Amino acid sequence: MTRVLINRGLGRALAGAAIFLSLSAAPALAALKTGAAAPDFTLKAAKGGQEMDFNLKTALKKGPVVLYFFPAAFTPGCTAEAHAFAEATDEFAKQGATIIGVTAGNIDRVAEFSKVECRDKFAVAADPGAKVAKQYDSIFAARPELSDRTSYVIGQNGKIAFVHSDLNPAEHVSTTMAAVKALKAKG
């Protein structure tokens, strides 16, 4: 039994490493432009490991939405990005913003990822077949079954207020936070 668990863990680690390596060579694509209407969607999601439905239109009633697409749960860049968004969640909430992470990769692990890496702070949604990612032009050209690493700030008017598309997760939180604060300042 122990050998099976070790092999399963090793298999997951190797699969995550393979996804990470394949993504590191793929360019981030252009995304929807600022001012474009944000496509509405409803996806199965989890927050703190608890399953839920996430609907964009409903979330926008509360304030702006930070929608970030990421390639696959439990890969190094996606884990780092989830940690950064988790640390900033309270500040986003003070600005009236809701965060939602969306992935088309290893969607069977979304609930676990929401608890472990997102630290119970925000919802993560599964995007089977990258259907929502395609609506947002946030897929990898080389791997269209995976979401690109693209972050959007969507204003309460349902329009894209800000876009940041970069495989490096380092700037996604700071740039979306600045955009949310600028939206709030506009009133």
Sign of the torsion angle spanned by Cα atoms 130, 132, 138, 141: positive
Residue 157: strand, helix, or coil: coil
Domain count, the chain: 1
Which of the following is catalytic: 73, 78, 107, 153? 78
User: Is-catalytic flag, 118?
Assistant: no
Q: Is the pLDDT of residue 22 over 50?
A: no
Report pLDDT digits (tens) over 81-93: 999 999 999 999 9
Owner of token pair 């939206």: 183
The torsion of the CA quartet 158, 162, 166, 167, rounded to 10 degrees, works out to -40
Q: Is 76 helix (H, G, I), strand (E, B) or coil?
A: helix
Look at residue 40 and tell me whether its pLDDT is greater than 50.
yes
Rounded mean pLDDT of 54-82?
97
Query: In the predicted model, what is the mean pLDDT of residues 157-175?
Result: 97
Domain range for 150 is 2-186
Indicate which CATH number applies to the domain containing 99.
3.40.30.10
pLDDT digits (tens, 9 = 90+) for 131-140: 999 999 999 7
pTM of the model: 0.84
- By C-alpha distance, which of 130, 127, 187, 129 is closest to 156? 187
Task: State the chain's mean pLDDT as an integer.
Answer: 87
Q: Between 185 and 31, whose confidence is greater?
A: 185
| Token pair in block for residue 145 | 């079954």
